[in-house]
Amino acid sequence: MLAFRYLLKHTFHTLRSRAGRALLLLFWKYGHRPRYQTTKVRFGRYEFEVPDAFSWLWQYEEIYVEEFYKFQSSSSTPVIYDCGANVGMSVLYFKELYPQARIKAFEAEPSIANYLTQNLKTNGITDVEIIQKAVWKDTHGVWFGEGQADDASIYGEGTKKHIPSVRLRDQLATETKVDFLKIDIEGAEIEVIPDCADVLDRVQHLFVEFHAYLGQPQALTKVIEVIEQAGFRYYIDTNQHRRSPFVNHRYRNNDVMDLQLNISAWRPHV
C-alpha cells in the first residue's frame, strides 16, 4: 500500500531519471515491508542492512533522486563532514561523487552507528573515519531520546540515555577548508550552528536539515542569522507541503515536529 501511494504521487517526476526509475523498483520490492524491522536491501552493486526499509527508501530518494548533497569541488580529495550519517547512504553517495574524499561520519545513536559501521565494511569502504558520538556544543555528553530508525533526538520522547558528544566547532577548527558540511542532527542544529559561527568561514558548502519540535522554540532565525553572517547564499525547501496549515500543525500525523526544512548554503564564489 505504501509503495502504491508513492507511485501515484511521484511516478511522472521520478521516471525522468535513472535513479528515479531504480527507486520505483525498490519501492515495489521493499515498500511493503513492516515498519521498524531489520531488513537487508540490495541496490545497484551495494547491500545494506537497515532498521526500517521505508525510511531507507525516503533516504534513497533524497540522496540519489533529488541529489540534495550534490556539490562541485576543484579538489579530488575534498574534506566532508557528515553529521548524522545514519546507516551510511550519504557516505556512500559522497564516496561515489569523490572516491578519494576524506570523510568524517558522526552518528549519535549507538544502534544506528553499528549499522553504519557494518554497511561501510560490507561494501568495502574502509577509509571513512566513523565517530560514534553526538555532534554538540561541548564534550560533556547529551541526553538523547531513543528513536526507531532515524528519529533519535535530544527532544525525542523515547527512553532517555546519555550519549558521549563531540564539539563540532572544535573539529572544524582543525581544518583549513571543509568542502561540504552536512548537519542532520534532529533539532540539535539550533545549538550547534551558533556555536560554530566563528569557524564557518572555512566551510564551502553547508547542508542543514532544520527541525522544529512541538513545545520547543522554532528558532529558525537563530540558524539563518548565523548562515547569513558567515557569508553564505542559501536556498530553503521542504517536503511537507501540508494542507490547511492553520489547523494542521504537525509535520506528519502524530509527529513530534511541526516544521522540517532543507537549507542548502554555499559561498557565492563557489
Neighbouring CB atoms inside 10 A of 121's CB total 12
Which overall architecture, per CATH, does domain 70-266 show? Answer: 3-Layer(aba) Sandwich (3.40)
- In angstroms, the CA 148 to CA 39 distance is 13
Of 145, 168, 148, the C-alpha closest to 216 is 145
Domain boundaries, the chain: 1-67, 70-266
Question: pLDDT digits over 55-90, tens only?
Answer: 999 999 999 999 999 999 999 999 999 999 999 999
Mean pLDDT score, 150-176: 88
Q: How many CA within 13 A on the CB side of residue 193?
A: 31
Single-letter code of the amino acid located at 183: I
Asked whether the predicted pLDDT for residue 140 surpasses 70, the reply is yes
Mean pLDDT score, 115-127: 97
Which residues, in sequence order, are bridge partners of residue 41? 48
pLDDT of residue 4: 47
3-state SS class at 199: helix
Asked whether the predicted pLDDT for residue 50 surpasses 90, the reply is yes
Strand (E) positions, 45-202? Answer: 46-50, 79-83, 102-106, 129-131, 134-136, 142-145, 160-163, 165-167, 180-183
Mean pLDDT score, 208-224: 94
Helix axis angle, 89-97 to 110-122, nearest 10°: 40
Band (105; pLDDT cuts 50, 70, 90):
very high
3-state SS class at 240: coil
Band (148; pLDDT cuts 50, 70, 90):
low
Percentage above 70 pLDDT, the chain: 91
